[in-house]
Amino acid sequence: MVQNTVTAEKRLKKLVEAGQEANRFNWAKEWKAQGKKVIGLVDTYIPEEIIYAAGALPWHIFGTWRQNVPLASVYRPPNTCRYCAHVLESFMSGQLDFLDGAVGSDWDDDRRVLWFQWTHLKMMSFRYQLHVPLKDSDLARIQFTANVTRLKKGLEKFCGVEITDQSLADAIGVYNKMRSLLTRVYEMRKRDVPPLTGAETLGLTTAAMVMPKDEYIKELEALLPYLETRKPVITSPHPRLLVSADRLDNPAYIALIEDAGALVAMDDMDTGSRYFWNEVPVNGDPIEALSRRYLSKLACPRMTFWDRQVSQVKEWVKEWKIDGIVNFTMSYSYPRFFGMPYFRDQMETAGIPFLTIQREYYLGSVGQLRTRVEAFAETLAEDF
Amino acid sequence: MVVAGIDIGSMSAKALVMSGDDIVGWAVTLTTPDVAGTARQILDKVLESHGLRFEDVDYIVSTGYGRIRVPFAHRHLTEISCHARGTASVFPNVRTLLDMGGQDCKVINCDGTGKVQKFLLNDKCAAGTGRYLERVGATLGVPLEQIGPRSLDGSDATTHIDSFCAVFAQRDVMILRQQGKATNDILAAAHEALVTRISALVNRLSITPEFSVSGGIAKNPGVVKRLEKSLNIEIRVWKEPQVIGALGAALFARDGAKKKAAQA
Amino acid sequence: MPSSVCYLPERGYRLSPMIVAGVDVGVKNVKVVLFDDSQLKSQLILPVGMEPVTGMVEKALADLSRQANLAPGDIQRVLATGYGAFLLPYPRISDSICLARGAYFVRSSCGTAMDIGAQRSMAASCTGGVCTKFSANGKCAVGSGMFLEAVANVLRLKLEDMANLPSQGDNKIQVSSMCVVFAESEIISLVHEGAPVADIVRGAVNALAAQIYPLLVQVGMARDVLLCGGVARSRVLVAALQELIGFEAVVAEQPEFVPAYGAALIATERREWS
Amino acid sequence: MNFLEAEVAKYERRVKRIKENPDPTKLKANLLLYEMWLSHRKKMLKQFNEGVPFAYLSGGSVYNTLFRAMGFHTIHLPTTADRVGSGAAKYFDIARQRGYPDNTCDRIQVYLGLTMSGELPRPSFVFYYGGECLPLTYGGRWVAEEFKVPSYFLDYPEEDSGYEGFQHVLKQYRELISYCESEVPGVKFDEAKLGEYQRKTDMNHHLHQEIYELKKRVPCPISGKDALRMPSMELCDEPQFGEYYKLFRDEMREKAEKGIGALPEEKARVMWVVSAPFYADPFSFLESRGVAVPIYDAGVGGGERREYVPPDDEKKYGRRLSPLEYLASQTAEGAEGRTPGSKSERILKNCRELHLDGVIYFMLSGCMPEIGCGRIVAENLERELGIPTLLIDGYCLDSAKYNQTDFESKLDAFVSVLLARKGVPA
């Protein structure tokens, strides 16, 4: 329990800024110093509980937030996924040399290629690519469970440990705990004036992606009572927006929206709600339970069940009293580009204002972004 | 009640002053690095020529890309809202509006009061903006105000520009010139390429009549005539299309002034 | 009909004494050089304008001959290269081949030549004057000299002056637009925000260097790199590039002329061509 | 003129031209190919006018056979898009106005526009899969949404998943078939018919392998344009489907035996990879410079795939497989051929066997699986074989974005590099 406001704010700030480029490596390096392994992740479809159970640190890779990617450009022309380019740049510049391995997936064609680039450049001693079916059906689930089982075996071999059902159940318990804590934070966002800004919330969720889970849980649990009563600096509580994006990990994007006169009250992002939504059932076979959660629950445009993403978002719009949606497509990341017309049409039919903006991975073209968001906020304003 | 709208674009700054429901006057100048100074100068210029002083102005709204750098404005709004508002005041039946600035191209759907329903902007690159024609004109040595009319005298039947890029177009123009193509034909090809690009953008939003074009390029008949043909719609252009944004800002300023007066 | 010709590397091939000219038709300038017995005699750079390039080049050749105390008829061969080479009535040859040959002429020890031109950048391996690899961009004007020129225009600087700015630039400013026109307005707004000019230049130059660097890597960058093209005159750019490649690159003395030298020399060396 | 009418007119024109004025430098077999297309398109046009529905296939040309064995008429969307030629602009506009990304692969944009234009027979079913690239997957997903018809997505197994992967595919096929039979009136799977198609395709694979052997000859007996011809599986119901490749092989063999090359003087030979600006005919440009293009690799989805291996199901699975099982085993094995690694291996092997001097790798904009590996393939080729690769970007259908001067000057420079490396005079 944190009593003192100043101390609490300090602790909160530390947690919120954990994903910043200057800080995100700290925990991983501390972990390494204890002689333990760090495994990088580039999407949210890897059941990372298994990595946790293997005694390694599952660490989500965010790319460099700087604009220029001269090293990665050798392998990646400018018209390829910018997240992957910035990740490859971090690899090639040596920033990620501490990683023992990485588990990728075929989230999209570009992530598949990223895995091949690691292989070609002989990066890390453990590189795994998990196939995640693009659909959800009984057959797809059986296949995914088999794939996850193979991943578990691969990790056992690499880490030199046996991953027992008990250790998996423990890991699931820890992750579910994190999920329930973050769910409580998101519940607070339903308030007219939430205790956290949208940018702060993104800082909080991305922190969960780079910090050791036990430590993260300890911190967040200690801060929750403080958050209940916190008075944040919110410039404009209206209009309330939901941001939909994939790997948007830089809170500065959300801050930009909030500076332009809106409140980001909810999100539909890999780095936000989609990271922790849906707990893993604790009864039954843990691998099967994990496979079910990761394949069937994440409603992301990457999957061919676009309708689930739409109905999920519609639900959120209602519960979080959302006035409009900002949809960020990232340059050359195709799943969202292709799903966009459907998403837009469905939102328009439902009478939910919708703005789509193409962005780079790093924060660039701020003036243009700002104009779009401000204009959107102006169209949503009641009294104008 | 005297109010003003100031529109700071990337290339030019516009100020428009209203007294009650009447437009007092306006002025246009080039934007300098000192935005606040430019804004004040252009406003003072309009005020002075009509015997007014800065102190007489009750409310100021700034808009355009430099809107947040006008320290003396009471409020700032985006050019999207201001263009829609300005257009609605002169053409109340307009439902679709195309604003073509130097580097921006915006398509806006609005209602009769000028409230924006939907909008769309060009992304990532300046292909299909005014700068494109500016560069082509400069390469050919044709003054800006002549490129439109002269393009209408040319034909793009045998002349084609591949590059949409405002910078590469210069290269293509140079080659065409060297191959002996007539200046007017090259201008026609450049206008055709631009209109193709703009039509594609406009078509992504629903085109509900009436349709209006604002911004500096609206003065270019080569673009407007071709757009009418390409979109198959009649285009309405106000007499001073480049100050529509400032007019919209001034109208918002009038609202602000009224509200302020009511509160006082 | 003019045809494309290729430089043929032949060890120990003796150059025949011959008076030749090389012409490089770029988007902004035409470079014309005159060689006598493989010695550079005279050179000329002319802006491309409204008048036909053919006439311009003919006149330039006459001027150059006069400067070298030769009659125009003494020129035995003319070889053209560059984007607009096809406009001329001379045989033409690829720019990468000329770049490599010209770089070898300017600096025989260099292994990689980098030409940063107005509309595209190109790297070529050039050991022994033979191009065995090249890599070029050119989809968009970002990554070319146009970008830097646009920056200079907006800041009301000359390319050369950009070199003389105090290099306090601390890499904090990013010029992020992926379009030259947008970059211009981005820079305007940076100026409006009061960012120091040197920092803006540094930001822009870093963006350009980041576009150029991969080209060098793609041709298997040698330790000895020669920088060519007018933009190589920008010392800030060279500094930013050197920071990426990790060693000093040499800027050609007359960087604009390197491909034209190559064209002239290849005209001399091609045995069966007349 | 709608798409199908234009197609009929195009093939009528070509057939007429060859009959009246044959070009001796071109393959005689081409006439047969055009005649088959003409007959196929005429049938389609008739069905279009009668309102007969088709199954739309978003990729996987082999699925023409599976769906036809179920009694569907089929349209293979990506290859149909390839045929719009100079009419592409209209379909781009339709797709882009709908909000489709204009920076993705242009084939997908055209096929989306084409389906929405109403110029194709309407669909009764949409099939899409995860075997090639995501644009094809999402394209299929969109078409299913647009037309609100039943659809099926086929998940490809994880690489090296062996028997389990095979079972995964087979079970999905069975699911797909029973779904089609219950949802689409008149559909009934005829496995014997699938077996017939497989005999035809196996024969073609066999011929293909023979043709591949002939391509090893120097000079190459085949022109670049002809090298990329393959009988589309859409033509599998044409009676002369099997004849074409035989004729093709015989002509090549005859030329090879006489030592006749497609070029007067072959100075170098290259492989063309992924896709090409077909509207601009870069092959003829290369040939005018003395460079032969004996082989074209259409990337992940097809082209010169692996060597033909006769069905060895008995050895592998312990028994003779049924046609459906056989298709599943091919699919499961094919899953391994789609990785960048195996692509690189395949190109290396082709370069070695066909004595190639270089590779032209077309970085088709929007084609992530391909452009992401271009550089890696180039490095592998340089390291293993010491041959250069030209990475050149562009669009395969969007001719509005093509700049001939730029493109050809790059090809030309590459030819110079090839010749300089070989030490051959131009």
D139 interaction partners in chain A (CB closer than 8 Å): 338
Share of chain B above pLDDT 90, in %: 59
Chain B's closest residue to C25, CA to CA, is B175
Question: For C29-81, what is each residue's pLDDT tens digit?
Answer: 999 999 998 899 999 999 987 788 999 999 999 999 999 898 878 899 999 99
Q: How confident is the model at residue D307 (pLDDT cuts 50, 70, 90)?
A: very low
What's the mean pLDDT when you consider all of chain D?
88
CB C249, CB C241: distance < 8 Å: yes
Interface of B with C in 131-160 (CB under 8 A): 131, 140-141
Say which residue, D251 or D160, is predicted with more confidence: D251
B108, pLDDT greater than 90: yes
Chain C nearest C-alpha distance from D117 (Å): 31
Half-sphere CA count of C9, side-chain side, radius 13 A: 20
CA dist C270 and C38 (Å) reads 12
Of D391, D393, D412, the CB nearest to C94: D412
CB C257, CB C14: distance < 8 Å: no
Whether C223 and C155 share a structural domain: yes
CB B198, CB B99: distance < 8 Å: no
Question: For D197-256, what is each residue's pLDDT tens digit?
Answer: 988 888 888 888 888 899 999 899 888 888 877 778 889 899 998 889 899 999 999 999
pLDDT of residue C226: 97
Share of chain D above pLDDT 70, in %: 94
pLDDT of residue D338: 61
pLDDT of residue C141: 62
Distance of CA C234 to the CA centre of its chain: 13
Chain D nearest C-alpha distance from B160 (Å): 10
- Residue of C41, C32, C25 whose CA lies nearest to C61: C32
D32, pLDDT greater than 70: yes
Question: Helix, strand, or coil here: D91?
Answer: helix
Write the burial class of residue D50 (CB in 10 Å: 0-12 exposed, 13-18 middle, 19+ buried).
exposed
For an interface test with C, give the residue of D416, D418, D421, D424 to mutate (most C CBs within 10 A). Answer: D416
Q: What are phi and psi of B107, to 5 degrees?
A: -115, 130
Q: What is the DSSP string of D223-288?
A: -HHHHT----GGGTTSTTHHHHHHHHHHHHHHHHHHT--SSSS--EEEEEES---GGG-HHHHHHH
β-bridge pairing C77-81 and C19-25: parallel
pLDDT of residue D163: 86
Q: Can you give A36-49 as a three-state secondary structure string?
A: CCEEEECCCCCCCH
- Determine, yes or no, domain membership for C129: yes
Chain C nearest C-alpha distance from B13 (Å): 14
Structure tokens belonging to residue B87: 């257009």
Q: What is the DSSP letter of A320?
A: T
- Determine, yes or no, domain membership for C12: no
Q: What is the domain extent for residue C35? A: 19-103+257-269
- pLDDT tens, position by position, for chain A (384 residues)? 556 888 999 999 999 999 999 999 999 999 999 999 999 999 999 999 999 999 999 999 999 998 889 999 999 988 899 999 999 999 999 999 999 999 999 999 999 999 999 999 999 999 999 999 999 999 999 999 999 999 999 999 999 999 999 999 999 999 999 999 999 999 999 999 999 999 999 999 999 999 999 999 999 999 999 999 998 788 788 899 999 999 999 999 999 999 999 999 999 999 999 999 999 998 889 999 999 999 988 789 999 999 999 999 999 999 999 999 999 999 899 999 999 999 999 999 999 999 999 999 999 878 888 989 999 999 998 666
CA distances from A25 to A49, C21, C237 (A): 20, 59, 32
Is A143 close to D155, i.e. CB distance below 8 A? yes
Domain range B1-91+242-264, its CATH number among 3.40.50.720, 3.40.50.280, 3.30.420.40, 3.30.43.10: 3.30.420.40
Question: For B23-73, what is each residue's pLDDT tens digit?
Answer: 999 999 988 878 899 999 999 999 999 999 999 999 999 999 889 989 999
- Determine, yes or no, domain membership for C2: no
CA dist C179 and A64 (Å) reads 22
Please state, as a whole number, how many other Cβ atoms lie within 10 Å of the Cβ of residue D101: 22
For the domain made up of B94-237, give the CATH fold: Nucleotidyltransferase; domain 5 (3.30.420)
pLDDT of residue C2: 32
Number of domains in chain C: 2
- Determine, yes or no, domain membership for C6: no
What lies within 8 Å, CB to CB, of B202 at 6+ separation is: B96, B98, B107, B227, B231
Whether C234 and C169 share a structural domain: yes
- Determine, yes or no, domain membership for C59: yes
Q: Give, to the nearest 10 degrees, the angle between helix C258-269 and helix C95-106.
A: 100
CA dist A49 and A39 (Å) reads 12
Cα of first residue to Cα of last residue in chain C, in angstroms, is: 13
Question: Helix, strand, or coil here: C78?
Answer: strand
For an interface test with A, give the residue of B80, B105, B206 to mutate (most A CBs within 10 A). Answer: B80
Ordered by start, the domain boundaries in chain B are: 1-91+242-264, 94-237
Question: Helix, strand, or coil here: B20?
Answer: coil
Chain A nearest C-alpha distance from B160 (Å): 26
pLDDT of residue A383: 64
Residue C61, domain CATH: 3.30.420.40
β-bridge pairing A240-244 and A263-268: parallel
- Residue of A71, A81, A78 whose CA lies nearest to A121: A71
CA dist D154 and D57 (Å) reads 11
CA dist A298 and A300 (Å) reads 6
**Is the previous residue joined to D219 through a cis bond, with omega within 30 degrees of 0?**
yes
Q: Confirm or reject contact between D376 and chain A (CB < 8 A).
A: yes
What's the pTM value of the predicted model, to 2 decimals? 0.93
Whether C138 and C30 share a structural domain: no
Q: What is the DSSP letter of B48?
A: H
Is D403 close to B162, i.e. CB distance below 8 A? yes
CA distances from A331 to A84, A248, B120, C143, D132 (A): 11, 12, 17, 18, 21
β-bridge pairing B116-121 and B105-110: antiparallel
What's the mean pLDDT when you consider all of chain B?
89
Helix (H) or strand (E) holding D133: none
Chain A nearest C-alpha distance from C207 (Å): 6
- Determine, yes or no, domain membership for C46: yes
Please state, as a whole number, how many other Cβ atoms lie within 10 Å of the Cβ of residue A6: 7
CA dist A33 and A46 (Å) reads 25
Is A74 close to C177, i.e. CB distance below 8 A? no
Question: For B155-207, what is each residue's pLDDT tens digit?
Answer: 887 887 766 676 777 778 888 888 888 999 999 999 998 888 888 888 888 88
Question: Helix, strand, or coil here: B143?
Answer: coil
Touching C: which chains, 3+ CB pairs < 8 A? A, B, D
B175 interaction partners in chain C (CB closer than 8 Å): 83-84, 87
CA dist C118 and D246 (Å) reads 53
Distance of CA D98 to the CA centre of its chain: 27
Q: What is the DSSP letter of D155?
A: P
Lowest mean pLDDT among A271-280, C60-69, C103-112, C141-150: C141-150
Amino acid type, C191: V
Whether C262 and C233 share a structural domain: no
Question: Helix, strand, or coil here: C248?
Answer: coil
Write the burial class of residue D218 (CB in 10 Å: 0-12 exposed, 13-18 middle, 19+ buried).
middle
pLDDT of residue D312: 59
B175 interaction partners in chain D (CB closer than 8 Å): 405
Whether C40 and C128 share a structural domain: no
CB D272, CB D356: distance < 8 Å: no
Whether C49 and C161 share a structural domain: no
Is D97 close to B163, i.e. CB distance below 8 A? no
CA dist D410 and D417 (Å) reads 11
pLDDT of residue C9: 45
Q: Can you give D166-185 as a three-state secondary structure string?
A: HHHHHHHHHHHHHHHHHHCC
Question: For D116-159, what is each residue's pLDDT tens digit?
Answer: 999 999 999 999 998 888 999 999 999 999 999 999 999 988 87
CA dist D141 and D153 (Å) reads 8
Is B78 close to A384, i.e. CB distance below 8 A? no
Of C50, C52, C119, the CB nearest to B168: C119
CA dist D270 and D253 (Å) reads 21
Ordered by start, the domain boundaries in chain D are: 53-189, 193-422
Q: Confirm or reject contact between B80 and chain A (CB < 8 A).
A: yes
CA distances from A45 to A65, A130, A270, D15 (A): 23, 9, 9, 53
Residue owning tokens 């300038």: C29
pLDDT of residue D76: 95
β-bridge pairing B2-8 and B12-19: antiparallel
Radius of gyration of chain B (CA): 19
D53-189 and D193-422 have identical folds: yes
- For the domain D193-422, what is the CATH code? 3.40.50.11900
Of D97, D401, D403, the CB nearest to B204: D97
Q: What is the DSSP string of C28-48?
A: SEEEEEEEETTEEEEEEEEE-
Give the ipTM.
0.91
For the domain made up of D53-189, give the CATH fold: Rossmann fold (3.40.50)
Phi-psi region of D318 (alpha: psi -120 to 50; beta: other; left: phi over 0): left
Q: What are phi and psi of B211, to 5 degrees?
A: -120, 135
Helix (H) or strand (E) holding A130: strand A126-130
- Determine, yes or no, domain membership for C4: no
CB C33, CB C82: distance < 8 Å: no
- Determine, yes or no, domain membership for C171: yes
CA dist D309 and A37 (Å) reads 44
pLDDT of residue C28: 85
pLDDT of residue C272: 41
Residue owning tokens 């452009």: D371
C166, pLDDT greater than 80: no
CA dist A283 and A292 (Å) reads 12
CA dist C151 and C141 (Å) reads 12
